[in-house]
């Protein structure tokens, strides 16, 4: 890569895509391409193929996806499997047809089996059943991983998949119906604080263990994959450290300044008991995260408070 290399970031306005864009810009990359969903529907195969053939980027970074937490996955299983497969398959195949040599596909730790040995290693993929609460999204992402692996095997192109742990940070989705656990908690505690420190009800028992990665660290991992030819097709990206959902709630409560009670609704699902990533492969190559969880939550909350009236679906 050089600083003038033409790089297309699919999903450049989302939390991950915008972080990648900022990181690349800060490093001096000047030829970045982004196009909004209103201008290019990534679910439209012909439109994506024509766009890729016309623009001829040297690299495609796929940060585009339909994402959400347990509630969204449970309520919209068809959209989660079909839309994600359409988006990624159109991007992957169009890149191949256009002769693009480098493709970075972003997935999720949910591709791994529900009860896989911890920490999760890349080679446990497809060894057992998935977590039912997000299997639709997981299956879609698995097909993307395998498509990139197939292209790598058959055509020798540098198509690599990065599987991040739970991501959070600036420009996250704070809508309570579709967001992930950390931003949802942050919004709940913030609203409860300004509502005379009202009690906060959270899903599940609080016992599942989760790992969280600040989105700017994920962007650095993408740049690392961009600037190096990684020898394997699949890499986990995370911190290697997890905590219980209860500990996460207490940390967010402290940072937001909420002083009310927390009620745990055990009638709601917990999801996978634990999802800790084995990140030794990325560490051996030279990438490591920089932002610890409490620091990252503080940075995210500072941004949330500053942009509370502008964040999508976050009206108080």
Pick out the residues of the known binding site for NADP(+). Answer: 11-17, 106-109, 141, 164-167, 180
The neighbouring-strand residues paired with 244 are 209
Cα–Cα distance list, 244 to 188, 275, 279 (Å): 18, 11, 19
Residue that is written with structure tokens 């609460």 in the block: 133
Three-class DSSP category at 57: coil
Binding residues for substrate: 188, 203, 210, 270
Binding residues: 11-17, 106-109, 141, 164-167, 180, 188, 203, 210, 270
Three-class DSSP category at 8: strand
Give the CA radius of gyration of the chain: 19
- Which contiguous run of DSSP H or E holds residue 213? strand 212-214
Known catalytic membership, residue 137: yes
Catalytic member of 8, 29, 112, 137: 137
How does DSSP assign 223-248, residue by residue?
HHHHHS--SSSEEEES-S--EEHHHH
The neighbouring-strand residues paired with 158 are 102
Q: Which two tokens stand for residue 301?
A: 């909350």
Q: How far apart are CA 190 and CA 159, in angstroms?
A: 41
- By CB atoms closer than 10 A (0-12, 13-18, 19+), residue 181 is buried
Active site residues: 137
């Amino acid at each position: 890569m050089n600083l003038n290399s033409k790089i297309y970031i699919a999903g450049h306005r989302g939390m991950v895509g915008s972080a990648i864009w900022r990181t690349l810009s800060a490093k001096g990359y000047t030829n970045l391409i982004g196009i909004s969903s209103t201008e290019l529907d990534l679910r439209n195969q012909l439109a994506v193929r024509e766009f890729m053939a016309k623009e001829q980027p040297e690299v495609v970074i796929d940060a585009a996806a339909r994402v959400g937490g347990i509630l969204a996955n449970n309520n919209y299983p068809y959209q989660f499997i079909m839309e994600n497969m359409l988006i990624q398959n159109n991007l992957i195949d169009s890149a191949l047809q256009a002769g693009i040599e480098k493709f970075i596909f972003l997935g999720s730790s949910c591709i791994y089996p529900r009860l896989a040995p911890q920490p999760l290693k890349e080679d446990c993929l497809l060894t057992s059943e998935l977590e039912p609460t997000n299997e639709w999204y997981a299956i879609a992402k698995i097909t993307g991983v395998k498509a990139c692996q197939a292209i790598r095997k058959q055509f020798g192109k540098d198509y690599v998949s990065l599987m991040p742990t739970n991501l959070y940070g600036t420009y996250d989705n704070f809508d309570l119906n579709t967001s992930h656990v950390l931003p949802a908690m942050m919004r709940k505690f913030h609203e409860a604080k300004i509502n005379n420190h009202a009690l906060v009800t959270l899903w599940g028992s609080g016992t599942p263990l989760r790992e969280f990665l600040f989105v700017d660290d994920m962007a650095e991992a993408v740049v690392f994959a961009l600037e190096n030819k990684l020898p394997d097709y699949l890499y986990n990206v995370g911190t290697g450290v997890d905590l219980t959902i209860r500990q996460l709630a207490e940390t967010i409560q402290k940072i937001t300044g909420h002083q009310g009670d927390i009620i745990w609704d055990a009638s709601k699902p917990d999801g996978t008991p634990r999802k800790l990533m084995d990140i030794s492969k990325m560490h051996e190559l030279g990438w490591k995260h920089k932002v610890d969880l409490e620091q990252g939550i503080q940075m995210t909350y500072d941004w949330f408070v500053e942009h509370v009236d502008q964040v999508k679906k976050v009206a108080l």
